[in-house]
């Protein structure tokens, strides 16, 4: 049996990322294969199952093209412009069949891996959320698939594929994206947050009069420390989980000089 593209390219991207990209695409495809009704709604979304799957197929193709060195303008980097670009793309793409879309999602994820294997991982590319290197683009692709894969799993009543290992692989993109998706709620705020993912990454988010910077590793003199279960962190960051519900279920703990800032933290960002 031939090795999967992810196995062939295991040394091209940061450890585990190629496998995660390929396997996540396959798990999403498994949610779709054989389904005859793609008109069912996706919980918490304006899209149907078929529309969400079509968006994923298009997005994976976009990422593969960017990795291959093609210019693909797509909005101006703001969440609002990305949403508008998504709707325009969907309007011009008619496929809504579950099986064809499943194959496209996997094929384009593997096309991304093949393209990334041909470029230096520190080479800068232009993406819908601004410039980043190829390795971070791989983390972006994975994060995007995890968000929509979670949606599709909920729509069909199957377990989702978000786990600690994949959350950790999404963090390079999260570190890059957070300063770029700051919301109006950050205006006028100056605070230092120490964010700890249970069993995973620890990083600092420093807000200075509404501008955000991210420090990898512990932050000095934090105003507020947030300890959070990793899957919950990613789902909140992607707008898939209610922060207050997570706090009520004990998945978020906070302390520090200004612990009351913790509920405000998720509002500082607009999910891309």
Domain edges within the chain: 5-176, 181-268
pLDDT at 12 (0 to 100): 58
pLDDT at 124 (0 to 100): 95
Which residues are within 8 A (CB) of 80 and not within 5 positions of it... i.e. 6 or more apart?
A: none
pLDDT at 2 (0 to 100): 42
Mean pLDDT by 10 residues, the chain (272 residues): 42 85 98 97 96 98 96 84 91 96 98 93 93 96 98 97 98 96 95 97 97 94 97 96 90 96 94 81
CATH class of the domain whose range is 5-176: mainly alpha
Cα gap 81→101, rounded to integer Å: 24
Give the containing element (helix H, strand E) for 91: helix 79-91
Question: In this structure, are residues 60 and 141 in contact, taking their beta carbons and an 8 Å threshold?
Answer: yes
- Same fold? 5-176, 181-268: no
pLDDT at 4 (0 to 100): 44
CA nearest to 174, candidates 209, 201, 134, 207 = 201
Question: In this structure, are residues 61 and 89 in contact, taking their beta carbons and an 8 Å threshold?
Answer: no
Q: How do beta strands 191-197 and 224-228 pair?
A: parallel
CATH T-level topology, domain 181-268: Nonspecific Lipid-transfer Protein; Chain A (3.30.1050)
Across the chain, which distance is largest between two alpha carbons, in Å? 59
Question: In this structure, are residues 224 and 257 in contact, taking their beta carbons and an 8 Å threshold?
Answer: yes
Strand partners, 225: 194, 255
User: Checking phi first, is residue 256 left (phi over 0); if not, alpha (psi -120 to 50) or beta?
Assistant: left
Question: In this structure, are residues 194 and 204 in contact, taking their beta carbons and an 8 Å threshold?
Answer: yes
pLDDT at 121 (0 to 100): 85
């Amino acid at each position: 049996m031939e090795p999967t593209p992810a196995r062939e390219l295991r040394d091209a991207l940061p450890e585990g990322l190629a496998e995660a990209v390929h396997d996540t695409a396959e798990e999403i495809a498994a949610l779709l294969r054989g389904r005859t009704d793609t008109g069912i709604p996706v919980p918490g979304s304006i899209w149907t199952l078929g529309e969400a799957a079509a968006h994923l197929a298009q997005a994976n193709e976009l990422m593969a093209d960017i990795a291959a060195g093609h210019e693909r303008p797509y909005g101006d980097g703001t969440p609002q412009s990305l949403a508008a670009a998504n709707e325009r793309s969907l309007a011009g793409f008619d496929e809504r069949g579950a099986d064809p879309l499943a194959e496209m999602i996997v094929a384009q994820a593997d096309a991304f891996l093949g393209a990334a294997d041909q470029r230096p991982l520190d080479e800068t590319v232009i993406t819908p959320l601004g410039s980043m290197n190829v390795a971070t683009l791989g983390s972006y692709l994975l994060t995007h698939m995890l968000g929509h894969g979670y949606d599709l799993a909920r729509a069909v009543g199957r377990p989702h594929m978000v786990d600690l290992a994949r959350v950790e692989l999404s963090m390079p993109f999260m570190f890059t994206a957070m300063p770029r998706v700051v919301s109006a709620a950050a205006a006028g705020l100056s605070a230092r947050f120490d964010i700890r993912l249970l069993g995973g990454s620890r990083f600092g988010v420093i807000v200075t009069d509404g501008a955000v910077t991210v420090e990898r590793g512990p932050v000095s003199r934090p105003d507020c420390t947030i300890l959070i279960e990793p899957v919950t962190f990613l789902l909140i960051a992607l707008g898939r989980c209610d922060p207050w519900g997570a706090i009520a279920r004990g998945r978020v703990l906070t302390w520090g000089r200004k612990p009351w800032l913790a509920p405000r933290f998720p509002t500082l960002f607009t999910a891309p």
